[in-house]
């Protein structure tokens, strides 16, 4: 699986959009970009995934660059409950496994 | 009730003791996983099982063993616990036929080896 690079931490004001970047320059054509988050030592929670098109669900939006070498997770209106570590992972869906990096610690402040 | 249940949630033990962490799921998924997490780090894969008859080593399997007793149960054993196995352990499941390929995680088992 391709490796990813994320900033170690970022702050965001409550109510504002949080934009979390991820670089995955060695991504292969059959690898998807997945985002998970982990709130304070709980089990990681799936957020969203995509292959090459932008995706949106009730939790977030995922913007993938045309060359697929980077992506951005957008939390449109951050709340205090969005404080968590966010993991960007690239994987072949059929493999099943997830390979986690260190992620980005996001702190949402009032 | 949680779909993926881990027991015990917390355990303190001594070096050399045998420890078993258990995971059961009600999601009907074929695939199950065990991960460990050390402070400030991401999760690392210990073992995974794609069905009852299939067991595979992950990136850090040394010192661990697993048993897939049934589709719904996947146990992780530490035959002789050592202090550097102190960590937070997570069980997860997935359905290869699911549209998202997501993994569903339990709430974690915190193990301390003295």
* Partners of residue A41 in chain B, C-beta under 8 Å: 37, 88, 108
Chain A hits for B36, CB-CB cut-off 8 Å, are none
Half-sphere exposure (Cβ direction) of B91: Cα atoms closer than 13 Å: 31
Asked whether A46 and B103 are in contact (CB, 8 A), the reply is yes
Cis previous bond, A2, omega within 30? no
pLDDT tens for each residue of B31-85: 999 999 998 888 999 999 999 999 999 999 999 999 999 999 999 999 999 999 9
- Beta-carbon separation of B44 and A100 below 8 A: yes
Using the Cβ of B40 and the Cβ atoms of chain A, whether some distance falls under 8 Å is answered with yes
Scanning B15-34 for CB atoms below 8 A from A yields 31, 33
How far apart CA A61 and CA A27 sit, in angstroms, is 20
Q: What residues 91-110 of chain B have any CB closer than 8 A to a CB of chain A?
A: 92, 94, 96, 100-108
Q: What is the pLDDT of residues A54-68, one digit of tens each?
A: 999 999 999 999 999
Q: What share of chain B is helix, strand, coil (3-state, %, to 5)?
A: 5, 55, 40
How many pairs of residues across A and B have Cβ atoms under 8 Å apart?
A: 58
Q: In Å, how far is A89's CA from the nearest CA of chain B?
A: 11
Dist. CA B38–CA B84, nearest whole Å: 10
Bridge partners of A10, per DSSP, are A106
Which H or E run includes B58? none
Collect all residues from A whose CB is shorter than 8 A from any CB in B.
32, 34, 41-46, 49, 87, 91, 93-94, 96-103
Q: How far apart, in whole angstroms, are the C-alpha atoms of residue B95 and residue B14?
A: 36
- Write the DSSP assignment of A54-101 as a string of letters: -EE-SS-EEEE-TTSSEEEEEETT--GGG-EEEEEEEE-GGG------
Going by the DSSP 8-state scheme, the letter that residue B83 receives in this structure is G
The tens place of each residue's pLDDT in chain A, 110 residues long, gives: 668 999 999 999 999 999 999 999 999 888 899 999 999 989 999 999 999 989 999 999 999 999 999 999 999 999 999 999 999 999 887 666 788 888 999 999 99
């Amino acid at each position: 699986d391709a490796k990813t690079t994320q900033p170690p931490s970022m702050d965001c004001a409550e109510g504002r959009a949080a934009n979390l970047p991820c670089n995955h320059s060695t991504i292969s054509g059959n690898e998807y970009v997945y985002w998970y988050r982990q709130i304070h030592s709980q089990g990681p929670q799936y957020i969203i995934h995509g292959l090459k098109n932008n995706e949106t669900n009730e939790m977030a939006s995922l913007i993938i660059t045309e060359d697929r070498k980077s992506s951005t997770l957008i939390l449109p209106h951050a709340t205090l409950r969005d404080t968590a570590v966010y993991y960007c992972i690239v994987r072949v869906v059929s493999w099943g496994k997830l390979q986690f990096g260190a992620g980005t610690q996001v702190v949402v402040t009032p | 009730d949680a779909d993926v249940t881990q027991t015990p949630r917390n355990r303190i033990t001594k070096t050399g003791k045998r420890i078993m962490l258990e995971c059961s799921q009600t999601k009907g998924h074929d695939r199950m996983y065990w991960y460990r997490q050390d402070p400030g780090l991401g999760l690392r894969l210990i073992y995974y099982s794609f069905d009852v008859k299939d067991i595979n080593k992950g990136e850090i399997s040394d010192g661990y063993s697993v048993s897939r007793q049934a589709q719904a149960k996947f146990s992780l054993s530490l035959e002789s616990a050592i202090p550097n196995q102190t960590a937070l352990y997570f069980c997860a499941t997935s359905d290869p036929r699911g549209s998202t390929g997501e993994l569903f995680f339990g709430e974690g088992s915190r193990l301390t080896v003295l």
